[in-house]
Amino acid sequence: MLSRDGISGLVCLAISLWLLVLTWGLPPAVMVPIGPAFYPRIVLSILAILSVILLALDLRAAAQRRATGTTAIAAPVQPAPNYPLVLKTFIAFGLYIALLPELGFRIGTVLFVAALQVTLEWPRSTRRWALVAIVALATTLVCFYVFEDYLSVLLPRGRWSGM
């Protein structure tokens, strides 16, 4: 008998395979070597692989339960919901979206990624603060160059900074 994880894996596998089949109906690229179906196929293939892994893990756990004679699935201990943290995260994201036209993608994203890291876990040492800065800068640079240079997507320039 499948648990919720197994059922979720099965549903995600079916949906990803169905959508993957539908990508074969997309028109081919005319001017560029990569067509409109390239990225959806990558994402849907990864989703299908992860779904199969989830399903396999659930089937293995079910087999272990049968072998040991255990019928009930032990409910994992759930931590209490942290609604203030969820609210802080939404506020940080809302500020990011609101300030993006003024600050621009580069400055706004560095500040957002750094603020989100600090919101999720306060750095307790100089080394952790340095890690926050490095992750914020690296995330912004990778996103900027992938979207601006590789995908040719124009990202917002800030009115205040021109960047």
Both 43 and 88 in one domain: the answer is no
Q: Would residue 162 count as lying in a domain?
A: no
- Structural domain containing residue 42: 4-68
Q: Give how many domains the chain has, as a whole number.
A: 2
Backbone dihedral angles phi then psi of residue 71, each to the nearest 5 degrees? -105, -30
Both 94 and 123 in one domain: the answer is yes
Q: Would residue 43 count as lying in a domain?
A: yes
pTM above 0.85, yes or no: no
Distance from C-alpha of 163 to C-alpha of 155, rounded to nearest angstrom: 10
Q: Would residue 130 count as lying in a domain?
A: yes
Per-residue pLDDT of the chain (163 residues; tens, 9 = 90+): 788 889 999 999 999 999 999 998 888 877 777 778 888 999 999 999 999 999 999 999 888 888 887 766 666 778 888 999 999 999 999 999 999 999 999 999 999 999 999 999 999 999 999 999 999 999 999 999 988 888 788 888 888 877 6
Both 87 and 119 in one domain: the answer is yes
Distance from C-alpha of 151 to C-alpha of 144, rounded to nearest angstrom: 10
